[in-house]
Amino acid sequence: MSAVSPLNALQIVINELTTGLMADGRDLEEATAALTGLNQRWFTAGQGRSGLVAAMVAMRLMHVGHDAHLVGEATAPSIRVGDGIILFSRSGTTPVTVAQAQTASSAGATVLAVTENAGSPLAQAAKLVLRVPAGPSQQFGGSRFEQSALVLFDAIMFSLAPDTESQRTMQHRHDNLH
């Protein structure tokens, strides 16, 4: 295996991220619209590194004012009618994530699938799909998908709270126990 310089590796990641962010504008608008009402609880979940992205998105949802929960945390309540859940899975076939989508849908929650595969079981169980076209990658595993999903949700959160006053409110909600 030949080594790649850090600067060359960075350029590869930047190039892949740029093309991975070419999400469908309509999907992006629908996902953003679903997150505009603050009277809805939102849950997030994913497995592996997608689960880490889900945790970061839950944190930002809380920062913009949502009652947000990471599935599996001890303080996460049960999902109910009127709630929403954002599920991350590149393949859209991860068994646990698909089962969570089906459970949430059966409970009457809005399911937002974040996946590369718009025809997957996860997408089929969802009301909304945000397709992240990560495609082939020189990086290991699903890094390109996870990076793209995180940046897309950071953009969504920025669009929900773009001004200084909104960001002051977000800062007030930021953890101060460290």
- Residues with a known catalytic role: 146
Instruction: Report the SS3 class of residue 50.
Output: helix
Could you tell me the two tokens for 165?
Answer: 């006053």
Distance between CA atoms of residues 51 and 70, nearest Å:
9
Residue with token string 């929403």: 84
CA distances from residue 2 to 6, 18, 50 in whole angstroms, order as listed: 13, 25, 28
Distance between CA atoms of residues 38 and 18, nearest Å:
30
